[in-house]
Structure 1
Amino acid sequence: GTYTSEAGGGTGIGTAAYDTATGAITPGPVITGVDNPSYLALHPSGSTVYAVAEQEAGAVTAVRLAPDGAYEVLGSRPTGGSGTTHLSVHPSGRWLLSANYGSGSVAVHPIAEDGALGERTDLVTHSSPPPGPGQGGPHAHQIVTAPDGGHVLAVDLGTDTVYTYALDESAGTLTEVSRAALAPGSGPRHLAFHPGGRSAYLACELDNTLVVCAYDPATGALTPGPGQSTGTGSGTSYPAQPVVTGDGAYVYLANRGPNSLTRYAVEDDGAALRLLDTVPVGGDWPRQLALSPDSSLLFAANQRSSTVTVFRVGPDGSLTAVGDPFPAPVAVCVLPLP
Structure 2
Amino acid sequence: MNFYTSSYTEHVGPGLSGNGVGIQYFNINNETSEITLAHSHDTINPGYFTLNPRHQLLYTFQERLQALGPRLLCFQTNLGHLELVGSLEINGGLPCHILHIKKYDCLIVSCYETGNFLKYDLDENGVPLPFSQNIKYSGGSINKDRQEGPHAHLAHYDEAHDLLLLTDLGNDKIYSLKYQNARFEQVAEVSIPAGGGPRHLVQHPNNNYCFVSNEMTGNISILKWENEAWQWIKNVSVMTQDHNNVASASAIKLSKDGRFIYCGVRSTNSISILHFDVKKEDLTLIDEVPTLGITPRDFEISPDGSMLIVGNQDSASMVSFSIQETTGKLELIEKVEGIRSVCCVKFE
User: Is residue 2:275 matched to residue 1:265?
Assistant: yes
Contact in 2 for aligned 1:132/1:160 (Cα 8 Å): no
Q: What RMSD, in angstroms, separates the aligned Cα atoms of the two structures?
A: 2.0
Aligned position for 1:4: 9
After TM superposition, give the deviation of residue 8 of structure 1 in Å: 5.1
Q: Deviations over 1:30-88 (max 9, x none)?
A: 223x3211101111527111112211233321111124x43211122223111100011
Aligned position for 1:308: 318
2:47 to 20, 23, 38: 38
SS in 1 for 2:187: strand
Contact in 1 for aligned 2:318/2:335 (Cα 8 Å): no
Aligned position for 2:3: none
User: Is residue 2:193 matched to residue 1:186?
Assistant: no
Aligned position for 2:236: 228
User: Is residue 2:328 matched to residue 1:317?
Assistant: yes
Identity between Structure 1 and Structure 2 (%): 25
Aligned position for 1:124: 135
Contact in 2 for aligned 1:147/1:195 (Cα 8 Å): no
Aligned position for 2:148: 136
2:60 to 51, 55, 63: 51
Counterparts of residues 63-74 of structure 1 (less than 5 Å):
63-67=75-79, 69-74=80-85
After TM superposition, give the deviation of residue 318 of structure 1 in Å: 1.2
Between stretches 237-246 and 69-78, larger displacement belongs to 69-78
Cα 1:8–1:164, aligned 2, differ >3 Å: closer, same or farther?
A: closer
After TM superposition, give the deviation of residue 147 of structure 1 in Å: 3.1
Distance 1:300 1:46 in 2: 27
User: Is residue 2:90 matched to residue 1:90?
Assistant: no
TM-score by length of 2: 0.89
Aligned position for 2:287: 277
Contact in 1 for aligned 2:192/2:221 (Cα 8 Å): no
Aligned position for 1:198: 208
Contact in 2 for aligned 1:198/1:270 (Cα 8 Å): no
Cα 1:326–1:115, aligned 2, differ >3 Å: closer, same or farther?
A: farther
Cα 1:330–1:93, aligned 2, differ >3 Å: closer, same or farther?
A: farther
Distance 1:46 1:300 in 2: 27
Distance 2:342 2:222 in 1: 28
Aligned position for 1:210: 220
Unaligned runs of 5+ in 2: 1-5, 12-16
Contact in 2 for aligned 1:47/1:64 (Cα 8 Å): yes
Cα 1:300–1:132, aligned 2, differ >3 Å: closer, same or farther?
A: same
Q: Deviations over 1:208-259 (max 9, x none)?
A: 211111135x84x221222111133232331112100112121111110111
How many residue pairs align between the two structures?
330
Q: Structure 1: which amino acid aligns with 2:70?
A: G
Between stretches 6-15 and 280-289, larger displacement belongs to 6-15
Q: Deviations over 1:88-119 (max 9, x none)?
A: 11132611111000000001101223221111
